[in-house]
Structure 1
């Protein structure tokens, strides 16, 4: 029995060492440039392998040496700090901020780009004010660019007297920087909010990129939508004051919204159980139906079919003032 427990402990420690080595290799590859990063990653990986072998060969100096290297790497990891001061791509150059006074929400640095293609667009940044007593509800967009498992999530707040206000959580890239989901695990990108109208955020995806974008009307009352919008405003202002890292798994376009909804959950009709569909955001519509956040009287397949807005959006001019109205034609309305 003692021998078995020792073997199990060795197996557990081996998995820990190999897991730490894999994480360290990824960090060095994505955070150090070119050949330097590759060489450092190979060296660290070999040290991890030696540490794992040492657990089984009675050479404790090998896992100990690796542990010292790993602690040193953790120290470097902890020293990596996010910043707002970088050479950002134009569409993410400014962060929104929001203020509330006399029942009105004022948004500064609201993006209102007119997109013809991803590289051909007119830059516009505005300040807009919204009467919170005129909020009607909230809609959710899922935009697919590669298969069904992963989609970008956007939330849009509708008003009786204004065009919808749309929120997106983005990877804040620098000029010349490419997006990599793997790099997103290793403090490679800062997080950004974008507050915009739908012609910008949704038009970019449907018209300029040709993505499969689907609209779902949420079963949120005006007061619930207002609570969520104010939760957004609070977090948007906090981010504007203190930068934070984007993380592919824990701080992304879906998990941050999940957290924000959780803050106002006592006022909502649905609860927020943990579910893998929150991470595999392409399947989020099924999760929303299960928690009664979208229409219950229609099958999910029908909601998805009717919610596809890409063709309607692509039939409009990039600067069409009817964009938000037209994309909602035929999409099932919410039922509270």
Structure 2
């Protein structure tokens, strides 16, 4: 009954949602009263049938909800990543590189970029905290020997004027989109434009592992391009996709509550040897906090270098 009321709330206009939710709640309580407090056999049977009919009707409506590519999308998620892989050369269309003045003021820019997978050299875990210490957005930034970086992020695909709701993410309120973006866009908008607390950690990975995960992100983008899918706060989000992709190179990675409490995912990675060795986690976290460096005068000139200054595991040549 509670699930039905919430589902109706997130999918109907407010007044119809209130009316339908109230009717659903009252009908559900009436059925429970009859079943629990007793009555004739016929009355109980009728209540049971009414309950089953209501459940079947809600299930049928729920299954009728379908994800779509054809909505009025917000500018920053308006395009889908398109990848063409030919041997070691990857051509990416619709790489986002917006210039963000604030959370609502920006200059849109979508680019076509080409990368040589033989130059794929590093990967960094980026954690952005926006609602307390237990929930964070998880991104992965890949670095190439020519100095370029590319960030992948699974996000909700907001419609214009739509805002994110973690609770709504349980009720098929949003489609999912995989964004590939420049760090000056997707990391800086969080640290500078939105004021989120952002942390960066160097990941330990071999070139072969980096290539496997990079191509797995592209495969996920192709899957979403072929068939739209719903974002799910619990089972299909920015952290669970990274876990699923990481299992392609480490199949024995265990399930853990920190996959749900995403704000602790960096600690999960640390416990499984995926971060820079030789440091306690607290020091990695303290030195990986990029906000102070991101706001320094002149940081915009080479944002990627500025935010990596002094981060454990990152050689000085990457930020000096």
**Which TM bucket (shorter chain)?**
over 0.9
The whole-number CA distance in structure 1 between the counterparts of 2:126 and 2:20 is 42
Matched, 1:24 2:7: no
SS in 2 for 1:81: coil
Alignment counterpart, residue 38 of structure 1, candidates 5, 15, 18: 18
Hey, what does 2:270 align to over in structure 1?
Answer: 289
TM superposition score normalised by structure 2 = 0.93
The whole-number CA distance in structure 2 between the counterparts of 1:63 and 1:33 is 30
Hey, what does 2:72 align to over in structure 1?
Answer: 87
Q: Superposition pairs for residues 99-110 of structure 1, below 5 Å?
A: 99-110=84-95
Hey, what does 2:130 align to over in structure 1?
Answer: 145
Q: Superposition pairs for residues 1-336 of structure 1, below 5 Å?
A: 21-58=1-38, 59-266=44-251, 271-316=252-297, 319-320=300-301, 322-333=302-313
TM superposition score normalised by structure 1 = 0.89
- Given that 1:143 and 1:205 are in contact with CA atoms closer than 8 Å, whether structure 2 keeps it comes out as yes
- Given that 2:308 and 2:314 are in contact with CA atoms closer than 8 Å, whether structure 1 keeps it comes out as no
Q: Note the residue ranges of structure 1 that are not aligned, 5 or more in a row.
A: 1-20
SS in 2 for 1:254: helix
Q: CA RMSD, aligned part only?
A: 1.5
The 3 A distance-change label for structure 1 pair 107 and 316 is farther
The whole-number CA distance in structure 2 between the counterparts of 1:28 and 1:318 is 46
Question: Per-residue deviation at 1:308?
Answer: 0.2
Q: Provide the aligned length of Structure 1 versus Structure 2.
A: 310
The 3 A distance-change label for structure 1 pair 318 and 96 is farther
Which deviates the most, 39-48 or 108-117?
Answer: 39-48
Question: Per-residue deviation at 1:326?
Answer: 1.4
- Given that 2:183 and 2:304 are in contact with CA atoms closer than 8 Å, whether structure 1 keeps it comes out as yes
- Given that 1:219 and 1:334 are in contact with CA atoms closer than 8 Å, whether structure 2 keeps it comes out as no
Deviations 1:153-194 (A, max 9, x none): 000111101411101111111111122111111111111111
The whole-number CA distance in structure 1 between the counterparts of 2:50 and 2:214 is 51
Q: Note the residue ranges of structure 2 that are not aligned, 5 or more in a row.
A: 39-43, 316-320
- Given that 2:299 and 2:306 are in contact with CA atoms closer than 8 Å, whether structure 1 keeps it comes out as no
The whole-number CA distance in structure 1 between the counterparts of 2:216 and 2:156 is 20
Hey, what does 1:4 align to over in structure 2?
Answer: none
SS in 2 for 1:60: helix
Deviations 1:230-268 (A, max 9, x none): 0001010110111000111111111122112223325xx
